[in-house]
Chain A
Amino acid sequence: MMPLTGKERTTAAAGPCCCGDAPGLDGGAASCCDAPASGGKASSCCNGAAPGGDTSSCCGEAASGGEDSGQPCCGGPQAPAASPMARPGYELLPFVETFRTTLAGPVPVVRTTLDRRDVRGTLGARLGYGRDGYRVAPGLYAVGRPGPDCPVLVTADYKLSFDALRRELSGIDAWILILDTRGINVWCAAGKGTFSAAAMARLIEASGLARVVSHRRLIVPQLAAPGLDARDVRRRCGFTVMFGPVRAADLPAFLRAGNRAEPAMRRVTFTLSERLAVAPVEVYHARKWLWWAALAALAVSGIGPGVFSLAAAWERGVWLVAAMLAGLVGGALATPVFLPWLPGRAFAVKGAIAAGGLGLLTVLVLAFAAPGAVSPAGRAAMALAAGSLGSFLAMNFTGSTPFTSPSGVEREMRRAMPLQAAGLVLAAMLWIISAF
């Protein structure tokens, strides 16, 4: 809270506070909120009527010596004055530390540490619910106190890309150029054609970069290369593109070494933590069909000797739903986690093994928990349903990996999808038969 000046303390008249009735206006300072006044009858408003009385007070701090309290009320301590950087119609973003004056106008200087809001945003993007539109405004930014000969680092406008870059730049003076990639990361944007030489030239023109820096070099993430023709950038705007390392974490070392990347900096990896970061989105996508599939499973489970039985739909149905969940977990979580160790090269095979295994585990639980609920044919159906579903979901995970080729995925799909469909149909048939 802002310290109050003496003037503020004395000028305000006693008055009602915003919530509830005001106490008697005669004489004493009226007041509200939290702390009682020193030496007066304590009263508070904010949550109801205050009794009439002499001195009362408000908001955390006691008024001094019976003087009129000019302290604000309601909602706790007074908020600080508006930042000198605030502008009507704009929102000052929490990652902006200050602005740096350049020949092309003020450039926001961004923090190199992530705060709680960034972490929350990352969580939303990674889990899937806050993934769309998670972006920052394209244009020129700065870290540290860059001058005209400092490097220019280019990245995408996806907030995760921007955060991944700035968090590695503590102690470095540099310019950051953010391209309008429609909220998509560098590699995918390059594939989609939005991280392109044309877009780069447009942005360099619009941002006035040529007036800000004295050199004509851009450090671009290596993974932009599928969409970015380096020579084309030079032709269009005179800037020379240097491909930086794959990971922003290697940028400090790259810069220290005079813009040279070690071979390891040029290779993509797919470590356990990287796999864990991209897996949850697949589970999130399952929400679209999971409820319908569970409903269908319960409906099919009701079919039996008595035409349809609600009791059977529930008693047998939960086990089929459990098998489907085993398929989901096996295909969308276990496959990414155990990717290097699951046998087979095709994701459909890996998924079938992981999810089929979990399906068998579900059958094992069933055998102990409710041995009479499902017959052997039904148990086979459970394992088959889990395996087929998991195989399909694992195949979908190819899109989240950095090493599957479209030719390979297409071949895998042509072979695996008929088997996956047949597996699901057979599982449904076995399940219905098992009721009789």
Chain B
Amino acid sequence: MRDMRYLSGVAAISLDVRRCVGCGLCEVVCPHGVLAVAEGKAGIVDRDGCMECGACATNCPSGAIAVTPGVGCAAYILQVWLKGKAKASCC
């Protein structure tokens, strides 16, 4: 995926290293290798690779990762703008 990169400096993901317990599940579930565990603590190693799917935050046992999950789909976002979140659908 290194050959295809999306906009840099936009992905909103944050990691509170103090709360990290080093279980490594975030590294397992991330489909883009954004997070990696080194010396017992997770770290964000490729922030711009993040697509905000939310897999890491959903599976983090200590709530150390914050990301607002969503679908990076223009058609869906347009529907949200036009019809509101409740009526928008994707896929």
Contact = CB atoms under 8 A, between A and B. Distances in A.
Given A403-B32, A406-B72, A413-B78, A225 B58 contact: yes
A406 B5 contact: no
B31 A396 contact: no
B1 A268 contact: yes
A268 B4 CA distance: 11
A410 B4 contact: no
A200 to B, nearest CB: 13
Contacts of A64: none
Nearest to A400: B73
Given A228-B58, A395-B74, A346 B33 contact: no
A226 B58 contact: yes
B59 A225 contact: yes
B90 A408 contact: no
Contacts of B6: 345, 403-405, 408
A329 interface: no
B55 A225 contact: yes
Nearest to B76: A399
B40 interface: no
Nearest to A242: B28
Given A225-B55, A405-B72, A270 B28 contact: no
B65 to A, nearest CB: 12
Contacts of A298: none
A307 to B, nearest CB: 36
A122 interface: no
Contacts, number: 136
B45 interface: no
A270 B4 contact: yes
Given A340-B4, A346-B7, A399-B90, A407 B31 contact: no
Given A267-B32, A401-B72, A407 B12 contact: yes
B interface, size bucket? 35 or more
A215 interface: no
Contacts of A187: 53
A398 B73 contact: yes
A254 B75 CA distance: 36
User: Looking at B1, B50, B72, which has the most chain A CB atoms within 10 Å of its CB?
Assistant: B72
A88 interface: no
A405 B33 contact: no
Interface residues of A, number: 48
A191 B6 CA distance: 20
Interface in B49-87: 49-56, 58-59, 61, 68-78
Nearest to B28: A243
B51 A405 contact: yes
Contacts of A340: 3-4
A222 B29 contact: yes
Nearest to A345: B7
A296 B31 CA distance: 44
A409 B74 contact: yes
Contacts of A404: 6, 51, 72-73
A21 interface: no
Given A267-B33, A408-B10, A408-B72, A402 B91 contact: no
Contact of B69 (A191, A339, A398, A408): A191
Contacts of A269: 1
B91 A188 contact: yes
Given A191-B71, A268-B1, A339-B4, A230 B59 contact: yes
B25 to A, nearest CB: 7
A403 B51 contact: yes
B1 A227 contact: no
A400 B7 CA distance: 16
Nearest to A222: B29
Nearest to B69: A226
A227 B7 contact: no
A2 B72 CA distance: 56
A229 interface: yes
Contacts of B58: 225-229
Contacts of B73: 396, 398-400, 404, 406, 409
Given A226-B58, A401-B4, A402-B51, 15 more contacts: A185-B91, A225-B29, A243-B28, A246-B31, A263-B33, A345-B5, A398-B72, A399-B75, A403-B32, A403-B49, A405-B52, A405-B72, A406-B70, A408-B7, A412-B74
11 contacts: A185-B91, A191-B53, A192-B90, A225-B56, A226-B58, A269-B1, A270-B1, A270-B4, A402-B51, A408-B10, A409-B74
Closest 9 CB pairs of A and B: A399-B73, A404-B72, A406-B70, A225-B55, A225-B29, A408-B7, A268-B31, A405-B52, A226-B55
